Amino acid sequence: MAGQAALRPRSIPILHLLFLLLTTCAVSISSGPDESAALLRFRSTLSGSGAALPTWVPNAAPCNVNDTTWEGIICFNGRVWGIQLEDKGLTGGLNLGALVELRGLRTLSFMRNDLQGPVPDIGTLGALKAVYLSNNRFSGEIADGSFRRMRSLKKLFLSHNQLSGPIPTSLAGLGKLLEVRLDHNGFSGRIPDFRQPTLEIVDVAFNKLEGAIPERLGKMDSSFFQGNDGLCGAPLKVACDDHGKAKKGLSGWLIALIILASVLALLILIFFLVAKRRRQEAPSRSPSERTSSGVDEEVDNLERGAAEHHRGSSGSSASSAGSKKATAGGKKSAKESEHGRLAFVQEGRERFELHDLLRASAEVLGSGNFGASYKAVLSAGTTIVVKRFKEMNGVGREDFNEHMRRLGRLSHPNVLPLVAYLYKKEEKLLVTDFVANGSLAHMLHGNRGSTLPPLDWPTRLKIVKGVARGLAYLYDELPVLSLPHGHLKSSNVLLDETFEPLLIDYALAPVMNATTASQVMVAYKSPEVAQFGRPSKKSDVWSLGILVLEILTGRFPADYLHKGKVGSGGGGGGGGSGSGNDLAKWVGSIVPEEWSSEVLDGDIKGDESSKQEMHKLMMVGLECCEEEVEKRPEMRDVLKKIDRIKDSVDGGGSS
């Protein structure tokens, strides 16, 4: 006991010291000025037209929780989580030394610039999970051990550069690696022995590699290995000899001749079949025009067929479209056919192609700033929607495919999944399932007809909760995106048979032309765009707030229209516009005591207890519309508040 008593006084300063150390660590974790100084030092090393980065200012923390006003910075839990400086016209070398001080840094992206010299020493940033350096002019060899310390690395994009030498074998030792893209470089030698069970993609196409493809990669797409004359083994149809090298000989020429002869025979057969079907048609175009349009003609025919159906002649339009199918679409080389075929992102789905859509009965659903939508009923009875986008021609195939695959992995009851897509340089097609009840905008402002009654309070609350849950899911699953949705509005919320909402046109900002996105997308109408010139992570929260007010008032938001005119429509007391101001300012200008009589949609109905809950939801909507980004709530907090709102004070919560 005496010994214990003698020890007790010493334990106090030790505990005190531990407390001070822990406190110091906690303070350093949330240290903003250190991150600011590191980023400013990094900026000083950049050159090129976009190197000024005027929003990077001294004596200001780059992150405020998950939000930032610093261009190209991604924040998470108050720390710099990522740097995304794509398409900035950056030139010269890339020096990452100053970024070592960013302890929370997990992702870097400098794609589509004009950066030169050797690949930067990313090994000093061992905690990185993703590195995107594609489409630059990096050159030279990469040291074999460059990636040895990057145990957390999941994605490495170095494609479309001028790199040479062997692929670093240290990549093969990274246990968390998911995706490696090294295509379109000058790498030589053998592919390292990748054995990671996590690996999904290793793209080394169009290099100077040779030897046998590692067994672990044998089940990947053969396009990941094309353009390397010396590679052999699965998935390529090139056998390896006893020394592990590609067999070469006259057999290759014979195979090429057989393929060429087969293709010519097939083209001749198709030509006669098409000529027979068009025998009774007046030749409005020359034969060369009729056989060279490929996918362009198929897509145009889909639009023409749908338009004719919309005018009341669906039977003839389907027949006409079927007779105008192009003959070149599926008969091109492997690379060209890849351009002309639908790529499916959902497993277990019925497969179909453009010519199947041409045979289908089609009708126009609508046309907007992004493009037109068509409803098509396939021969098996499946009804799908094809949306044609013409404002995505600035994105490359690789980036577009990657983003579509990312969207294809999303799964949530309130997010309409992407089924398939088609990439063409000039335009893109996105395919989704058809949703019977149409859009929320139609239910609120359109002519519902006699079969669909006005939306009551429980249904509107159900819709708001579903939208909030779907949006929160996008925030969780797409943390790298500054705009997880980007275009949230009532016409982009569909309603199924039970009035469960489904979000559409989400997460398209990364593949949209920048000019179109800034002019059209709802998030770019948020107050911070006027203040800082760009949307924030909370711009989707602002869009949700506007949508909540639209659902409660039945008024069409002026913010969605180019000239700020409020549309007519909406039921009861919600019809028309009582103000030229935007919806949020108008609601905020009326005292809450008068909301029931002046603001709420007359069709919403409900007793006094229900109206108390409506007022709570109205307050949440106004909070989301806060003009100062710092005062606007986080998406997760918004969801919690909305989930607590009930059908009525005495009733249970809406499902």
Q: What is the Cα–Cα distance from 618 to 615, expressed in whole angstroms?
A: 5
CA-to-CA separations, 171 to 193, 202, 205, 462, in angstroms, rounded: 9, 11, 17, 48
Banded model confidence at residue 382, pLDDT cuts 50, 70, 90: confident
pLDDT at 560: 44
Could you tell me if residue 314 is inside a domain? yes
Above 60 in pLDDT, residue 573?
A: no
* Residue keyed to tokens 């499902």: 655
Among 209, 232, 255, residue at a domain's last position: 232
pLDDT tens sequence across 383-434: 889 998 877 877 788 888 999 999 999 999 999 999 999 988 888 899 999 9
Q: How many residues does the chain have?
A: 655
Token pair of 567, please? 């549309």
How confident is the prediction for the chain on average, in pLDDT?
Answer: 77
Banded model confidence at residue 40, pLDDT cuts 50, 70, 90: very high
Could you tell me if residue 281 is inside a domain? no
Ramachandran class of 103: left when φ > 0, alpha when ψ lies in -120 to 50, beta otherwise: alpha
Do 135 and 200 sit in the same domain of this protein? Answer: yes
Could you tell me if residue 222 is inside a domain? yes
**Which CATH number characterizes residue 601's domain?**
1.10.510.10
Could you tell me if residue 289 is inside a domain? no
Do 153 and 113 sit in the same domain of this protein? Answer: yes
Could you tell me if residue 11 is inside a domain? no
Among 433, 450, 471, residue at a domain's last position: 433
Q: What is the mean pLDDT of residues 155-174?
A: 93
Do 471 and 419 sit in the same domain of this protein? Answer: no
Higher pLDDT, 474 or 377: 474
Do 571 and 481 sit in the same domain of this protein? Answer: yes
pLDDT at 515: 82
Q: What is the Cα–Cα distance from 627 to 633, expressed in whole angstroms?
A: 11
Reported as type and span, the H/E element at residue 258 is helix 250-277
Above 80 in pLDDT, residue 288?
A: no
Above 70 in pLDDT, residue 304?
A: no
- CB atoms inside a 10 Å sphere around CB 29: 12
Do 410 and 464 sit in the same domain of this protein? Answer: no
Q: What is the Cα–Cα distance from 313 to 250, expressed in whole angstroms?
A: 56
Do 377 and 314 sit in the same domain of this protein? Answer: yes
Do 338 and 201 sit in the same domain of this protein? Answer: no
How many helices and strands, by DSSP H and E, does the chain display? 18, 23
Q: What is the Cα–Cα distance from 521 to 601, expressed in whole angstroms?
A: 26
Q: Which residues pair with 429 in a beta bridge?
A: 388, 422
Q: What is the mean pLDDT of residues 489-513?
A: 92
Ramachandran class of 244: left when φ > 0, alpha when ψ lies in -120 to 50, beta otherwise: left
Among 204, 232, 260, residue at a domain's last position: 232
**Which CATH number characterizes residue 61's domain?**
3.80.10.10
Could you tell me if residue 290 is inside a domain? no
* Residue keyed to tokens 């016209």: 89
Do 322 and 444 sit in the same domain of this protein? Answer: no
Residue 395 structural domain:
296-433
**Which CATH number characterizes residue 303's domain?**
3.30.200.20
Above 60 in pLDDT, residue 612?
A: yes
Could you tell me if residue 17 is inside a domain? no
pLDDT at 417: 94
pLDDT tens sequence across 212-254: 999 889 888 888 898 998 899 888 888 887 655 655 544 555 5
pLDDT at 365: 78
Do 189 and 301 sit in the same domain of this protein? Answer: no
> Pseudo-torsion of CA 161, 167, 169, 170, nearest 10°?
-10
Do 594 and 560 sit in the same domain of this protein? Answer: yes
Could you tell me if residue 267 is inside a domain? no
Reported as type and span, the H/E element at residue 263 is helix 250-277
Q: What is the Cα–Cα distance from 223 to 256, expressed in whole angstroms?
A: 18
Do 181 and 219 sit in the same domain of this protein? Answer: yes
Q: Are strands 179-181 and 418-423 parallel, antiparallel or unpaired?
A: unpaired
Banded model confidence at residue 330, pLDDT cuts 50, 70, 90: very low
What domain count does the chain have? Answer: 3
Above 60 in pLDDT, residue 606?
A: yes
Percent of the chain with pLDDT over 90: 34
Token pair of 332, please? 């091109």
pLDDT tens sequence across 444-492: 887 655 466 788 999 999 999 999 999 999 999 998 888 999 999 999 9
Q: What is the Cα–Cα distance from 80 to 61, expressed in whole angstroms?
A: 10
Do 389 and 324 sit in the same domain of this protein? Answer: yes
pLDDT tens sequence across 82-127: 999 988 889 999 999 889 989 899 999 999 899 999 999 998 898 9
